[in-house]
Chain A
Amino acid sequence: MLDPTPKTAKDHPEISGGSTIGIKYDKGVLLAADTHLMYAGCYWYKDAQRIHKVADNCVIASSGDYADLQMLLKKLKDKNDYDIIAEDGHQHYEPKDYCKWLANVHFNKRMRVDPYYNSHIVAGVDSKSGDKFLGTVDVHGNNFEGNYVLTGIANYFCNAILDGNVTDDLTLEGARELMTKCFTVLYYKDKSQGDKIQYVTIDTDSNVNFEDPVTLESKWDYHFTKHLTNDHTRDVRFKN
């Protein structure tokens, strides 16, 4: 007998984060995300961490609902534990396995009309061959790999900055410069983006380095904003 009560599912993310970006450089992968979480139109949490380490050679950054992210991280940690126990200390799952698993889970939930409202970036280094891996999974289960990946609103703004500039011989400083340009544009234009960015790098030697958040520089004192105000454009006669 079918259950007559209607099925309901959450239809929007509640506590959500902004966009994240990942870029491959010559000796590894660079990920960045900001530390602000938005809830009910306010910056509710200002020092949240949205990039997490899943295994020794795999890091996940995600934008979207934070509760769904924490539940998925629990499941990923269980997978990592099972992997280490079953292989007697050797790790068998590679970053591309975690990425594929996430894509399958997202697609399954989406087909049941109850999605996880997240877009992820999975980054890491293959422990056997030393290849860099950078992939993205979005809310529907779309799974792409590439030299640079973007989630959220960055898809609309930052493709023009990164396309053609992410080459095989890009250095870490060059990658950081590109990231700073992208995040400055996002900070100026996206409501849910804050100005504190956390960078994470993964080397081809599988060194994962979580850096402290840095504040973006922004320019706010242009001449035209200070002096050309509404007083000049509205038709009111002023004495001075």
Chain B
Amino acid sequence: MGTENPGRPNFPMRPSSTPFASALPTMTPFSSRGPMVGSEASNIRPIPPGAPPTMTPFSSAGSSPPTRFSDPSVPSPPITSVPSAGGPFQQYPTPPFPSTVQTTPTRAPPVGQPPFQPPANQISAPPVSFRPQSQVPPVPMVSAPQTVNFPPSSLNVPQPPSESLFSGPRPNFQPTLPPPDLSYSTTKSTFQPPFPAYPSKQPAVSQVPSPFPAQQGSFMPPPPASSSPFSSQQGSYVPPPPIAAPLGYQSRDQMQHPGSAPPIGGIQTLTEDFSSLSLASMPGSIEPGLDYRTLPRPLDGDVEPSSFVEMYPMNCDPRYLRLTTSAIPNSQSLVSRWHLPLGAVVCPLAEAPEGEEVPVINFASTGIIRCRRCRTYVNPYVTFTDAGRKWRCNICSLLNDVPGEYFANLDATGRRIDLDQRPELIKGSVEFVAPTEYMVRPPMPPLYFFLIDVSISAVRSGMIEVVAQTVRSCLDELPGFPRTQIGFITFDSTIHFYNMKSSLMQPQMMVVSDLDDIFVPLPDDLLVNLSESRNVVETFLDSLPSMFQDNVNVESAFGPALKAAFMVMSQLGGKLLIFQNTLPSLGVGRLKLRGDDLRVYGTDKEHILRLPEDPFYKQMAADLTKYQIGVNVYAFSDKYTDIASLGTLAKYTGGQVYYYPSFQSGIHGEKLRHELARDLTRETAWEAVMRIRCGKGIRFTSYHGNFMLRSTDLLALPAVDCDKAYAMQLSLEETLLTTQTVYFQVALLYTASCGERRIRVHTAAAAIVTDLGEMYRQADTGAIVSLFCRLAIEKTLTNKLDDARNSLQVRIVKALREYRNLYAVQHRLGARMIYPESLKFLCLYGLALSKSVPLKGGYADAQLDERCAAGFTMMALPVKKLLKLLYPSLIRIDESLLKPSAQADDFKNIMKRLPLVAESLDSRGLYIYDDGFRFIIWFGRMLSPDIAGNLLGPDFAAELSRVTLHQHDNEMSRRLMGMLKKLRESDPSYYQLSYLVRQGEQPREGLLLLVNLLEDQMGGTSGYVDWIMQIHRQVQQNA
């Protein structure tokens, strides 16, 4: 259609592949179809083997196409019918079909993993055998498309009509439908005739068009799927997309000269590559609207977009860099129609699985190869010319000389002959060892400094004891032995320094009580080398809890203590861990109780509560960053502690906030222990700066996350680790981009714990497109949601919560409306709600976001401190972790606990996520709710006492708020603990504490679990169905 065509010709290579890629998720016809049906429909009702219903639409549709299009459109029906029957493919009477079938499997798989993994269902079974495992065989492709493409190409026209039939009046159940056989025969009969005609057409259509039709076929169906499962089967069948594209990517050279690929022109695409939900009321049901069971849900967690890596295999892994869409718009006008954030989410130090570590390269004598003009680091996308003597920068296209030591000859295809020994030329992520030019001072040693509150409430909560024990147990694992430095300050109304000189037997404590004029009592020895003073440090940590156990001081001179710590650390920088329990009450930076004035809420002054009260904290944070000090705040108070102010310290120094409201060592000790240990022992990059470069014509304009900007595009990160991600938005500087590809390069210059200065470089390429539809197809929900989240949280700092939520909703609506307008003309959309397949979860995440702790409700829905702490945390979370938090998993476990022989190895099968609705909870069941930060274990009212007894021991009848979960001596308990352990191991960045709750236990159940079932309607907030309806209505207004 019109929208597609203009874009295509420009990108001979990509176009063909992209539709494919985006199409895939739904498409992988066989595998995905199963899931679709399985996850959505099959729960609802078993689909009869014959699956007759599918046919009806066709028979009705069949009549219309001929008249309208005088085209052999019908072929598709037969195709569709087969799957529904779940029968063998041999059924196909005509030769072309078998061939299609064969192609499908091979083709489909590479690109997209179906977003739903089929929950092993009746229907999915047959398809399974077809699920393609192999890579795309380039060879057969050419022939395959030909056979295939014919039916689809003709098919797309008729489809819409049939489509509308489906969604509208279509009854849910089979009874009304004609028997399958009948429809079969009719379709067949209509269908056969076209074939003779086909050959004549073939030349014209050949190869190219096929991807689109295919796409279409596969695409459409899912939509109906939501309205009725049957129709979904119908579509998913259409022969798989023959891809011409992957061919192009086989070799690096080809990639770099896309122009060399055969141009594709004049493609007729009558695609409907979107998903849709029918919102019309279904006959037979009184309730208007849609069935909640059919709505899309990310029950497989976050699926990284594969197209990004598929198209540019040398890109860095998406765990390091994710673009909100991997199709970059070429003009301002296109950007303004996109409405969603355009940018990237970067997690420079993300943990790589075993075997995929980033290679470290030492250029030693050569020096690091960089572009003279734009300072880009050498990467896989640079091209070598002039017999290997020059290289062209891929970002600014300047021709640079290749240094003598780096020279290598080129082979016939223009590739360097030493390519396989040069990881920087084949991998998207590498790490260079930086020479002395990259240092302003000798690399600093890893440095940990502890600032510990010892006032009475800290002592009572038991926090000091847990901290001292944990630090002591981690001493061996602190990174950077033997250079690691360590130091301590404790404070209440006075500040206590500790001399830990290695020659001492015991630490010496020095008390400074002059808070107005802080001075450091000793020039050095407050900060000591851990390996030299190990004994003193251990003695100190052993005695710390007892030293203050009788302390009755209720004041906190936090500000002066912070200044003192800053003075001690400013020579070297490092990581400052603050353990804070009492609202700062003395000296500079004292804070007062805020937020108990209810009248402020809902007014224009509301946001001030979420901002630091005293400019001291911002100023301090700026100074700390300047001296390379990163701050992590651990807050424990049971009362208001003004996290908004304290968190500022972490925010601008690249740190994070851990908040344990009403900390009690007996209950929360384990969580603190794990998280502190993780904080101390994870690999940390010191005194780091990060910059992201991108090609000419675009520019990163705003950055979101926990860091401080040192210049317009340089992020200062005093201490950064694998659990931190940063988001940025880009904008076009030129009105029209003429290049076809744009490159991004993230460079993180840091000091590794071993004392080496290093540069970690991630490079990625993305295509520039002229077509909005393409941008939507290649969108990455995870990155978009991550950016939305950060923007919304930032907005709460200057506006009311309501405004932040509304602006989020408005942007989603605008985006969907724009998308609808793309297709409204060519397709009869009727009352359907359409959305791109790639963004099918966007609405749900939007809802989740507006119900997340930093944004939800009003005054009463979350404590001010909790809100602020969650805000600081979510500003730093990597995409996967954030999505998990937004849409937590709910898992039923009682069955797997009872299964006699079930071994832990089918962990994956057990961990079947359920939709977050109250209906998912069965009162006979036992469920785990896991949002990545805590477990909530829900005991159904009618759960067999046997299970409860085994898991909880003798106190299973007691009130669960007083019961803690620990292992009992029986198989079931062991298995549960094993399960929890596995879940925790899957993401060690936070420790999930288990909260037990029994059905009907009020108000605990409501607070802990029910309020988190975000698809349900809850005190004034809309449920998922209402939300969709609401968005749909708004999309249609002035659409």
Q: Are these two chains actual partners, yes or no? A: no
Interface residues of A (CB under 8 A from B): none
